[in-house]
Structure 1
């Protein structure tokens, strides 16, 4: 009996509490944002640079391709098909293909890959806008002595601009999301926060900060482009 009493008096040590279990893991933590503001802004700046660079380069490539496809009808199918095939290539494989040409897996590799991904959207929208210009309007302009350059700038571009801007808006929002895949090269913009949170024992505040940042960036970019479209096409507002 005495031995049983002695055993009952012995206290059983509590299970150790792991630091990861004891540490708070909120979905959003303002202190994380304030403590890491410089890092977040740096990733945001890279995200913006990659997005703007990819869309601008994509537009510069897509416009000549769209003009060529409209001028030579039998090239429209191959041009659209090629841009669609490029879009189906997984990002990991795309970066691996580009690395020998860019020298290494760098921000340039990500920029080139993102530019290629924008073409499937931009070429289609640019071509649709150019094909939507009425043939009789173009013929009337030629009858007034318009040359090719003046015809494009004064007739084709204004009439096709709504379709152009729609393509730019879609491509920009899509690219904002795609930039995050550049994290495999260490150049993923806000995607670095998402992966960093996953690596830090699923730290939710860091993951949510990166994800919400991408969403807000896409919304801001779309609103700015929508405003630019309204500014450049005042006649569409009058028609409404």
Structure 2
């Protein structure tokens, strides 16, 4: 389970490093929104198992191939959450911040990101659940995680082992979702949005 969590965390860190800056820039400037929406929709349509297989053909067996697929899977949700969060801030609020002498960068950092944080975390939440659910496919190309038990149970027709691994993945997803739900509610309360 720790290996499964590590795969998920690593994919989210890499995806966030790619998608958050782009999403924040798109939401702040409004430029490239159509391209971001179309590209994130196209990427979501890619079959994860096919992407892992294709990546494995180029980079070989191990963690690199599934990690590429997990990052590709997580980027659209994080990107959408970031630009939707920044875009959701009222123009009157950003105009007031500019009228007080804030630069565009300060408006983004001190106004738009804090007020858009619940939606930004919502994007991270969606990405986390998608990656946790598909991280079992890492075992398909020789990596570990809870998928190892699933594939082992499938090969040996050990259905209790498959069921246990499936339940562990489901439980992990539920726990992570509850953590994100709690943090979103806490942020809304702290920001006075609820």
TM-score scaled by length of structure 1: 0.73
Runs of 4+ in 1 over 6 A off after TM superposition: none
- Whose radius of gyration is greater, 1 or 2? 1
Counterpart CA distance in 1 for 2:183 and 2:29 is 31
Q: How many residues align?
A: 194
Counterpart CA distance in 2 for 1:57 and 1:191 is 21
Alignment of 1:94-173 (within 5 A): 94-99=51-56, 103-173=59-129
Counterpart CA distance in 2 for 1:162 and 1:168 is 10
Alignment of 1:5-154 (within 5 A): 44-71=1-28, 73=30, 75-99=32-56, 103-154=59-110
TM-score scaled by length of structure 2: 0.89
In structure 2, stretches of 5+ residues that fail to align are none
Q: Please report the RMSD computed on the Cα atoms of aligned residues, expressed in angstroms.
A: 2.1
Which residue number in structure 2 is paired with residue 21 of structure 1?
none
Which residue number in structure 2 is paired with residue 6 of structure 1?
none
In structure 1, stretches of 5+ residues that fail to align are 1-43
Counterpart CA distance in 2 for 1:88 and 1:105 is 24
Counterpart pick for 2:148 among 183, 192, 199: 192
Q: Please tell me whether the aligned partners of residues 95 and 105 of structure 1 are also in contact (alpha carbons under 8 angstroms).
A: no
The 10-residue stretch of structure 1 (109-118 or 55-64) with the greater mean CA deviation from structure 2: 55-64
